[in-house]
Structure 1
């Protein structure tokens, strides 16, 4: 639970004492209107353990001052800050400037009773999730309890209050609150580390692409200028290796570029090549192809994946490939030669027009040279499927290389 700042833009200072300015007109209305605009302050790892004790507060609301004094005395040794209010409006004013981890509300109060106060708290974003325990001197009637739970209560304490019961319940909620704060700290830190990792991967990818580009250019020169067959083969091997490394770097950049809302995956062991071959035979996919496709299977293509989601991704890739390839044949390759991954690759020799490249690969201009391959709106759905499996999807359209979509999956979901 993130802690909020102590000031609100456009709002006058609200006294911390519950006894001041109680005659202010409609404080509950002002409270409800001003809460949604309250800013949120990030919690930092280095100050949480030092100031968390000062920040944990419990609110006690009772119309009898002697009861408030008794509650403060009972909770004096709890290490918590006890805020008290003698009415619902006074409690709402306190909630404007204090974050509380628990509210103890007297049910029977003149004017705004505990149930009405609880409903107002549940109606505001800031206090919607504050646990509420009702204090009541009435009988333990099921109807009254039912109304209290409908108003948002998590428990009832009946008067006269048992000191041991009160302290035990408050301690439980205090521990839960500390755990929520610690969890929020860790989430913030993990998000920060994820951003740092993404920046580092982006920088490393850029640094790796520069020497890869040099390798590819020199390999191409070697292939074209030498008359030795052995040197030509060596140049072709160097070029192929550089292209493979470039695609792997593109996959790393794809995974680091941005988070993606993951789908629910139900993986089973299956053969990716067999699934791709089945989707090629589907009538709707056959209808968009101008010429028969070329299909190739390499190595062991079995792995763990969700067959329904993967079929949808393959259909989308086939349709996009066939649509933009026109009268060029598309090549579909399922590569299982790697030990830990499977690769589905769809390619054709045509270079995309700028508008089509932007639609499929994103950005404001088509991807060219050794720049990072991206995925645009036309490939968002298969990319989501790849991400849900712990993999990635990249694509590129380049002169002398044509257009390629490549979906990379981990072979085993247990190794994600």
Structure 2
């Protein structure tokens, strides 16, 4: 629990010591001030849940200090309790309430009353903090929702526009235009690529939904990490070569284990996609190896790298920015990857620095926990 800060102001040190002894608790940090000027400096530096002010102080009275607090944005909402040794007929209480005080106490203080009143304001402050945190979280959720809708719209628009243009071309063919077999094959390949992109987007959104509900199915069975990695590398070889990122695979002939083969293929595919996307047109190295009771698969690119402050963030939902580059996609790949790996009892590690590329290493126990 975060400690709550309280301010007590009195020109007499013995009064401060006595008051602090009354209200001190483990979850409270108490600041003392012996003058109005000292109190103002503390008020500008800290966020206080309550200020307890002595009315009768030299140079600047508690009433004057309260008036200054109410005139400053940072301090105007801090509850104020006045303490006075003066007789009630001096009408300090009326003046205190005029300055916005929430309570007024007379010396000698009633210990029980003081503790009770302070506890009330500490609790109110905590509830206010919780409400502010909840509001901030709600606002972040709304912003994430809006960003998500915007990203989905943008990412789907590109393949749909391409398919639309392809449809117009087919209309021309139907009207008598001729295309060579090579052109027709290229058209079909473009269609397939755009359809795959849309299917991948939809699959990612469905996986995130399943993860949130705790229903992402992991079905471990006998599988071969070397074989499935080789299969994924071959599937992405043409795509990597087209952007100048040929892939180099180092793997044993076989590396058996108990995993969900479909999900682990998804992990390798996500890592390869990122490596190709950020690879900077340089080769991508993929390595599969055994290490004790673990099986490792690592993907290394030689691209832009990831700054230390971003290395945790990129595994969260909808995070895509790396340095100044924002790649296409929904920013779900690494989030889903980590969840799948952890569901297998494994972990994913990242080694990277700006300008020096990135290496993602997945460590999987050879025998995965039951789904």
TM-score range, shorter chain: 0.3 to 0.5
Scaled by the length of structure 1, the TM-score of the pair is: 0.38
Scaled by the length of structure 2, the TM-score of the pair is: 0.43
